[in-house]
């Protein structure tokens, strides 16, 4: 459903949020290791998230990535998805057609519209803070 870049973006943002709650910056190398992602690809994704004001990047020996602590609860997954993939996840066809709508639907169109609408609601109503809660106590994980 999400692009690989978006999956990594959500994981990276969640990890950065967790560390930011502890008032720590994290390096690209640490993020890449913690979410099991290629470093160069992760760097591009983090750059895109910084450009869209999801996270802050600082250069230098004590640099790294961080999310302002007071913003962690207000940043929604929809913000991250939009920063990386735009709104394509809300418009895509279940069977991959370039164009799929009620006028010329694919066989799954009517059922998939409901799923897309529910996904949109979930992304708009889920904050980064919510994702960090399970990580803090070991109930959820960012890699296997």
Q: What is the pLDDT of residues 93-144, one digit of tens each?
A: 889 898 888 899 999 999 999 999 999 999 999 999 999 999 989 999 999 8
79 has pLDDT over 90: yes
Tokens 């962690």 sit on residue:
72
For the record, the structure tokens of 2 come out as: 């999400």
DSSP 11: H
47 has pLDDT over 90: yes
pLDDT above 90 covers a percentage of the chain that reads 86
Residues in the chain, how many? 144
The CATH number assigned to the domain with range 4-136 reads: 1.10.10.10
46 has pLDDT over 80: yes
Mean pLDDT of the chain: 95
1 has pLDDT over 80: no
67 has pLDDT over 80: yes
DSSP 26: B
Q: Ramachandran region of residue 13, left (φ > 0), alpha (ψ -120 to 50) or beta?
A: alpha
Contact 123, 77 (CB under 8 A): yes
pLDDT of residue 32: 97
**Residue 65 banded pLDDT, cuts 50, 70, 90:** very high
Of the candidates 92, 110, 94, the residue with the CA atom closest to the CA atom of residue 102: 110
The backbone torsions φ and ψ at residue 99, rounded to the nearest 5 degrees and listed phi first, read -135, 125
Q: Strands (DSSP E) along 17-72, which ranges?
A: 56-58, 64-66
86 has pLDDT over 80: yes
């Amino acid at each position: 459903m999400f692009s690989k870049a978006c999956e990594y973006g959500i994981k990276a943002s969640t990890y950065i949020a967790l560390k930011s709650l502890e008032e720590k910056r994290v390096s690209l190398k640490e993020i890449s290791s913690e979410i099991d992602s290629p470093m160069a690809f992760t760097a591009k994704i983090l750059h895109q998230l910084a450009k869209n004001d999801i996270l802050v990047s600082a250069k230098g020996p004590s640099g790294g990535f961080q999310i302002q602590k007071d913003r962690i609860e207000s940043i929604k997954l929809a913000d991250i998805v939009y920063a990386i993939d735009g709104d394509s996840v809300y418009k895509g066809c279940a069977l991959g057609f370039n164009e799929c709508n009620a006028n010329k639907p694919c066989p799954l169109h009517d059922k998939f519209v409901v799923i897309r609408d529910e996904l949109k609601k979930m992304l708009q109503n889920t904050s980064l803070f919510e994702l960090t809660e399970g990580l803090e106590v070991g109930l959820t994980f960012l890699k296997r």
